[in-house]
Amino acid sequence: MKLRLTLAIAIAVASCSPKVKTDVYLDPSKPLEERVQDALSRMTLEEKVAITHAQSKFSSAGVPRLGIPEVWHTDGPHGIRPEVLWDEWDQAGWTNDSCTAFPALVNLAATWDRELSRLYGDCIGQEARYREKDILLGPGINMGRTPLNGRTFEYMGEDPYLAGQLVVPYIQGVQSNGVAACVKHFAMNNQEVRRTSTSSNVDDRTMYEIYLPAFEAAVKEGGAWAIMGSYNLYNNQFNCHNKRLLCDILKGEWGFDGVVVSDWGGCRDDDEAAAYGLDIEMGTWTNGLSGAASDGYSNYHLAKPYLERLRDGRASLEGLDDKASRVLRTIFRTSMGKQHFGSFNSPEHYAAARKIAAEGLVLLKNDGTLPLQIPQGGKLLVVGENAYKMMVVGGGSSNLKTKYEIIPLEALHEAFDGKASVVWERGYVGDTTTDYNKVVTGQDLSESRSAEQLLADAVASASDADCILYIGGLNKSKGQDNEGTDRADIVLPYGQDTLIEALAATGRPMVVVNISGSPVAMPWAPKVNAIVQGWYGGSESGHALVDVLTGVVNPSGKLPFTMPIALADGPLKTERQYPGIKEEGKKWWQEYYDEGVFIGHRWYSSKSIPVQYPFGHGLSYTTFDVSDVSVKRAGDGFKVSAAVKNTGSVPGAEVVQLYVSDVESSVERPVKELKGFEKVYLQPGESRKVQFTLDRRALSFFDAGSHAWVAEPGEFRALVGTSSEDIREEVPFRL
């Protein structure tokens, strides 16, 4: 803080006085590369090395002698992490660092709305800048390969096109505030089980078609200033210093000029760290430096061991200059770039959080029971722990300390005040923890009743209820939506299926809200009247949910992943595929992506496997017609257009989705792939034309042999609809 102030004053004085000439590197009006070269030319070997590794849990050094400030990193991606102790994960106990908690990224993905993604990025970027953070550790865009992945809630779903489209505006929004978005976790980091000891072995076609495109979009279109290497290995080399991923693809093929930051403790080898594309090493000995009891940071792979290698010629000086340039570039783009001051906890940020949370809620089923219609003086019975449990705290590194969190029950009491009585029954006991890294919710979740009693109490209370509103699902405890652990199955925990069945058997109208960050099985779906997929919605989650339940907001969210009937229906059938196997002579666990490009909806639709709710599905309180699909040649590619009309009686939004099918292909391709979507808001009776552009890449598969995207001539089909399975019109065209 002090250093930055001094710097600002120095620059201000220099620019006011005609006699003082500002050094190039200090002058934000000078071209970036001139500043980098100028600073680099003034730095000693030791100073260059010093900026390539951490100096505390969340900061890396600057160059104090030159007035170049240190770099402050923060999680990300759902809000600005509370300040932590210098070497610890635990929060430091500041009283002015409670942030706006934005909805989980999976909730953002469910909006299918590029502008909301930009708004999210802009708001969180402002919060980061206000808190003087330079690198925001997010967003995460790993693909939903298995629904069991504990971090599914922190990612943007199972489709590379959807994630790529949404990550770009998020990055641009963040970076417009002079904060670097650090896109994570690069790459093929699709599970938490043994995340630091498993090699993802993936063929090139699968990697380029499924696991890399969102990162490629983040770099090439989003202009991301930072990328985080992941914990796992790819082809038996750790990803924080993986030559193929970082040097050949990221910095080579994609021309990334930003900084590669290791995941915390993800750097594992002296020689590789020096040679293979890592620029800032963070979090080594993440347990508070016990791996280096004294002077831990100097013993980082990119500290003393690196210095020794540079001095005796085992590491190259050009390599060091490249790393240092990337760190300097980051500093000149952020804290020493154009001045931004940011803002924190503003009413606008809470309004944005509420809007995004609501727009991402997905109405899975509705027979007209929603929006809720409770008679004056009637009774709404709310059942389930998630109506009450605060969810911002927990889950791993995305854990936040927020200024406030509106729980669903509180929002329901507000909405029905003076109209109907809202009665809550817990129904089951899930997770009673109320703190994480010393961030506490202050709730008391202890319970003395038995599971049988809880169920009996809920069922008894249903007898005179006008409607049962069940709010359950997962939470962020271990083995659920939680960093470091995966789930064991997609079945709801804590006996919730039995409880839901028992409540449905009372015959009262029943709405189920499933709050989770990942897919769950819903065997009771046919027996309830309506189902809403809710998410970890952040500070305003309760308000957002109740806005949709009461019809203040017409739902328009769409599933960013498939909701399967059972785990066994999915593409991962063997231990080789998941969670990996031990092999003779190999040091690390081995995992093989044998399913190739067939994950998520690509798998289910190609194999004609029925699902509970398909990718892209989501209903509204109104209805839409999609018609008049046409395909026209446009230059090298095609233009697809369609008409969408609101045929119901209330305003609402539909996401028109374009899938492409390659009918004649020399390789096996998914029966359809998402290649375009537009979210359209329409008044009753209003219609609009939507247009999509298909370039050659959109028609291509990745050919590993020639290492190129190949669009084969022949017949294709444009499939336009409102989910991956609800295709309204199909039009053939030829390339």
Active site positions, annotated: 263
**Number of chain positions touching ligand BGC (CB under 6 A):** 7
CB 598 within 8 A of CB 670: yes
Which segments of 63-212 does DSSP mark as H helices, in order?
105-109, 114-130, 160-175, 204-206
Among 75, 159, 272, 654, binds ligand BGC (CB under 6 A): 75
Closest separation in Å from C-beta 659 to ligand BGC? 32
The torsion angle over the Cα atoms of residues 224, 228, 232 and 236, rounded to 10 degrees, is 70
Among 101, 124, 137, 469, binds ligand BGC (CB under 6 A): 137
Among 209, 263, 385, 673, binds ligand BGC (CB under 6 A): 263
Closest separation in Å from C-beta 113 to ligand BGC? 24
Q: Which is nearer to ligand BGC, 400 or 698 (CB)?
A: 400
According to the binding rule CB under 6 A, does residue 184 interact with ligand BGC?
yes
Q: Which is nearer to ligand BGC, 78 or 118 (CB)?
A: 78
Q: Which is nearer to ligand BGC, 263 or 678 (CB)?
A: 263
> What x/- string results for residues 17 through 56 when contact with ligand BGC is judged by CB under 6 A?
----------------------------------------
Distance in angstroms (rounded) separating the CA atoms of residues 68 and 297: 19
Closest separation in Å from C-beta 58 to ligand BGC? 7
Look up residue 299 and give its DSSP letter.
Answer: G
Distance in angstroms (rounded) separating the CA atoms of residues 158 and 144: 4
Q: What are phi and psi of 154, to 5 degrees?
A: -90, 0
The torsion angle over the Cα atoms of residues 88, 92, 96 and 99, rounded to 10 degrees, is 40
Closest separation in Å from C-beta 397 to ligand BGC? 3
Residues ≥6 apart with Cβ < 8 Å to 191 = 145, 146, 148, 149, 150, 198, 486, 578, 579
Matching residue, tokens 């785990």 = 567
> What x/- string results for residues 564 through 603 when contact with ligand BGC is judged by CB under 6 A?
----------------------------------------
Closest separation in Å from C-beta 195 to ligand BGC? 8
Q: Which is nearer to ligand BGC, 184 or 301 (CB)?
A: 184
Closest separation in Å from C-beta 184 to ligand BGC? 5
Specify the amino acid at residue 612. Answer: Q
CA 496 to chain centre: 27
Q: Which is nearer to ligand BGC, 161 or 234 (CB)?
A: 234
Closest separation in Å from C-beta 506 to ligand BGC? 44
Q: ω before 543 within 30° of 0 (cis)?
A: no
Binding positions for ligand BGC, 642-701, rule CB under 6 A? none
> What x/- string results for residues 222 through 261 when contact with ligand BGC is judged by CB under 6 A?
----------------------------------------
According to the binding rule CB under 6 A, does residue 379 interact with ligand BGC?
no
According to the binding rule CB under 6 A, does residue 70 interact with ligand BGC?
no
Nearest to 314 by CA among 345, 367, 272, 365: 272
Q: Which is nearer to ligand BGC, 263 or 270 (CB)?
A: 263
Angstrom distances, CA of residue 110 to CA of 129, 350, 440, 660, 714: 27, 19, 29, 21, 34
Q: Which is nearer to ligand BGC, 268 or 365 (CB)?
A: 268
Residues ≥6 apart with Cβ < 8 Å to 535 = 103, 104, 106, 107, 110, 153, 357, 360, 361, 515, 516, 517, 541
Distance in angstroms (rounded) separating the CA atoms of residues 61 and 47: 9
Binding positions for ligand BGC, 401-430, rule CB under 6 A? none
CA-angle at 722, arms to 721 and 725, nearest 5°: 75
According to the binding rule CB under 6 A, does residue 264 interact with ligand BGC?
yes
Closest separation in Å from C-beta 261 to ligand BGC? 9
Residues ≥6 apart with Cβ < 8 Å to 462 = 381, 383, 468, 503, 506, 508
Structure tokens at 214: 């969102």
Does an H or E element contain 365, and which?
A: strand 362-366
According to the binding rule CB under 6 A, does residue 156 interact with ligand BGC?
no
Closest separation in Å from C-beta 210 to ligand BGC? 21
Where on the chain is the footprint of ligand BGC (CB under 6 A)? Answer: 75-76, 137, 184, 263-264, 397
